[in-house]
Amino acid sequence: MPFEATRRAVSQIPLLNTHAGPRDRALWPQRLKEEYQALIQFVEQNKAADNDWFRLESNADGTRWTGTCWFIHELLRYEFRLEFDIPVTYPDTAPEVAVPELDGKTAKMYRGGKICLTEHFAPLWARNAPRFGLAHLMALGLGPWLAVEIPDLISKGHVVHKEGQREAAAE
């Protein structure tokens, strides 16, 4: 049943029409506009479902994205910085999302905090390129990764809530 909820949520994210990457100076602005529209719709959909969990912003040309994501576990909010660059072969290649502060804390991460999406997400992206965009990356890539990895990292003590860190520092 969680798959149905995911499928329903993702089906509400608009598919993108413009097949252009950052090197395509003529069509990239149109693709970027579609990306923003899909992201806005996804964020609004999440807020309506009381499931707001990330913020993103890009540089002026839309090739570097930064923001924060958070995960609620046992009523505590764990917040992380995230970043990614749009690959030159985008949209045929998905961006590699990095959560730098989790670098080295899980086996499902590599090269400077980039999360591993090769096993499950990469084939899905390949089948749906160029219709998938950044909202799909968040919904089907980062979101499920956080849902699996963060509780495990917390249970192993690799991630500690900020309140717990302050208490340990005070002792």
Is 114 within the bounds of a domain? yes
User: Range of 85's domain?
Assistant: 2-159
Tens of pLDDT, residue by residue over 42-90, are 999 999 999 999 999 999 999 999 999 999 999 999 999 999 999 999 9
Q: Is 111 within the bounds of a domain? A: yes
Q: Please compute the mean of the pLDDT values over residues 6-35 and round it to a whole number.
A: 92
Q: Which pLDDT value is given to residue 127?
A: 93
pLDDT tens string 105-152: 988 888 789 998 888 899 999 999 999 999 999 999 999 999 999 999
Domain count, the chain: 1
Q: What is the pLDDT of residue 108?
A: 85
User: For the domain that residue 47 is a member of, what is the CATH number?
Assistant: 3.10.110.10
Judge whether 68 lies within some domain.
Answer: yes
For 27, other C-beta atoms within 10 Å of its C-beta total: 12
- Quick check: is 141 in a domain? yes
The answer to the question of residue 116 being in a domain is yes
In the predicted model, is pLDDT for residue 32 greater than 60?
yes
Would 152 be classed as within a structural domain?
yes
Q: 127-159 as b/e, with b when 16 or more CB fall inside 10 Å?
A: ebbbebbbbbbbbbbbbebbeebbeebbeeeeb
Residue 167, domain member (yes or no): no
Active site positions, annotated: 116
